[in-house]
Chains A and B, each alone.
Chain A
């Protein structure tokens, strides 16, 4: 199991749970987008043997799912990947977000843009 794909993405739409094995299902968004767009629960579940926390987000009406992996790279150094799960919504014409960033050591930041990553990139974290 590739170390850089530690999570399974689970979501529930119309009471039916769907599973995406991240990193193992090329083009999975094509198949899942329509149901994912209507999901009311979305989770990142660590694959077997992975010591990362699970994270579940409940989506209320009008909230749209947000999921992606962000990779940070130092030109001469290692890369660090964070997983982002949350929601966004348009409220009174403004885009509002609630995002959770999961670090490789399991630390979670609930902020719009990750902060601790910059300490890690500088070797200070």
Chain B
């Protein structure tokens, strides 16, 4: 069979509540797996007068819905190489779940606009992943908002992932 993989958001204590398959995430001031305009409007991130404000971390995994013939390896993640002025996305990977925070992340500490881009993809999981139901390590993302950010909706940004299968 050929592998089938889906993206999941993990919320709550120790990032222990796994969502159903998702296709997008919201960087917001709440810990949920919803992806909608209403969710973003209900949970905005306030632009700080000084310093930074952060979204809740997003704890993401890829889950094997259908097993590969043999194994999945070399799971990579990347996205845009620039974000709107006054905003920054941070990223990181960990094997251990922790409760998402809206303080500055201790896992998502690399700037995504240099550390997770087309020419420098972030290694999400080296694998091997072999079985249905197995998940990757956690990819943790967090949006930072600075005082000179513009108010209003952040434009949609596209992220990518890839994996090798044999």
Contacts and interface: CB of A to CB of B under 8 A. Distances in A.
Interface of A: 2, 4-5, 22-30, 67-77, 84, 118, 121
B94 to A, nearest CB: 20
A68 B166 contact: yes
Nearest to B62: A73
B154 interface: no
Nearest to B166: A68
Interface string B138-166: 00000000000000000010111111111
Nearest to B3: A71
Interface majority SS (helix, strand, loop, mixed), chain B: loop
A75 B2 contact: no
Interface of B: 1-3, 5, 7, 23-25, 67, 69-71, 73, 118, 156, 158-166
A4 B165 CA distance: 12
9 contacts: A26-B67, A29-B70, A70-B162, A71-B163, A72-B162, A76-B23, A76-B24, A84-B164, A118-B118
Contacts of A73: 5, 160-162
B166 A67 contact: yes
A121 B118 CA distance: 11
Contact of A5 (B2, B67, B71, B166): B2
B69 A26 contact: yes
Nearest to B161: A73
